[in-house]
Amino acid sequence: MSDYKIPCLVPDLPDPVVLQPLLAEVHAKRWYTNFGPLSRRFEAEMASFLSEGQNLNLSVGAFSSATAALELVLRAMELPKGSRVLIPALTFPATALAVINAGLEPVLADVDAENWCLTPEIALNAHNHASVDVVLPVAAFGRPLELEAWQLFQAEIGVPVIFDAAAALGQQQASSDLTMVFSLHATKPFGVGEGGLVVTSDEELLAKAQSLSNFGFRGSAGVVQAIGSNAKFGEYYAAVGLAQLARWQDVQARRQRVLEWYQTHLERIKAVSLQKGVDAFVPAVMSIFVAGHSETLMQRFTEASIQTRRWYTPLLHRHVALKNITAASGDTNDLVVANRLEKGLIGLPFHAFLTEDDIAEVCSVLKEAGL
């Protein structure tokens, strides 16, 4: 538990009492991993949840994490080694790590000044400058990506698009045309503990990725057909996943309420910018942008015992082990928006246990700083 009076993120997972019958089911069958019945049920229920109200023919596969799921989907695409994958400079490092671990080359793009995501327009410019083989846009801070625009990009430009929608489960609309990856990490809105989902209508791609998550075994002969790994989803996590799905509407409603309080209290603080569209979805984290103030502001929050974070900073190419990643233009100074955001993004507390008084207290720090 955090030492702060107001912690930044608090996982919101099902009560163990609710898990009891599901765990008993696992134990009775003595089937704990390797695509067991609860994992299969969870995958099927997530496919219905994500298709709700739409005529989508989705397959869902569960993995040990979104990072592993991204890597294995990229491997399952069987691209030539070193193929170029366009990713935004502003993202969690896992996006780049998955690309590199799949034997591919990440190439950085800038993000949009208003929605803080890689957009089809930015991707097209980058691709026209120096062609890329895959585009991997990120649902930054849980903001859903524009489905139609990306479907059009994929169809017209002919470059496959995979969504890293790690933080956007429950917000990002699924599609029959685009493969997406979601995270089930404990701190994500749809928290399970650890885990990742691949959501696709490409059954063969998913079957290959799942075979890679099981050492590369395919079929019953126990023969390794491709160089795989162990990235399977266990039955205990599937139990948590099923219980989390059953309470998702409640989790979502409580998070929505917290968002509305923030909107009310931040409204009059003009120096604070929010990610565009944040009234149309509930973000995973509450990242605000305050030009040039982040270090001193964070200090003020710490003094008030309010925990803040700087999600997605530093930018990817400033991480020691990622310093050789290049920008699509060849110059990381061209990542103008990402470079500007990097200096002023602050993640405020955002979780389902916050009260309106907490939000007022967080916002009073911003007001007292004269913003």
Ligand X SMILES: Cc1ncc(COP(=O)(O)O)c(C=O)c1O
Give the interface with ligand X as residue ranges (CB under 6 A). Answer: 65-67, 91-92, 94-95, 138, 164, 166-167, 183, 185, 196
Among residues 154 and 287, whose Cβ is nearest to ligand X? 287
Minimum distance from residue 319 beta carbon to ligand X (Å): 14
Minimum Å gap between C-beta 29 and ligand X is: 26
Q: How far is the CB of 268 from ligand X (least distance, A)?
A: 30
Nearer to ligand X, 72 or 132 (CB): 72
CB closer to ligand X, 87 vs 288: 87
Output 167 or 198, the one with its CB closest to ligand X.
167
Measured CA to CA, the distance from residue 171 to residue 280 in angstroms comes to 9
Asked if residue 206 lies in contact with residue 62, where contact means CB atoms within 8 angstroms, the answer is no
What minimum distance in Å lies between the beta carbon of 312 and ligand X? 8
Distance, CA of 67 to CA of 89 (rounded, Å): 17
Task: Give the three-state DSSP class for 195.
Answer: coil
Can you read off the two tokens belonging to residue 216?
């590369």
| Under 8 Å between Cβ of 111 and 122 | yes
Bridge-based pairing state of the strands 179-183 and 162-164: parallel
CB of 28 to ligand X, least distance (A): 29
| Cα–Cα distance, 312 to 25 (Å, whole number) | 39
User: Nearer Cβ to ligand X, position 261 or 281?
Assistant: 281
Residues 6 or more apart whose Cβ sits within 8 Å of residue 269: 363, 366, 367, 371
The Cα 153–Cα 73 span in angstroms is 20
Q: Which is nearer to ligand X, 67 or 115 (CB)?
A: 67
239/365 with CB nearer ligand X: 239
Instruction: Report, in Å, the least distance between residue 17 CB and ligand X.
Output: 26
Q: How far is the CB of 114 from ligand X (least distance, A)?
A: 19
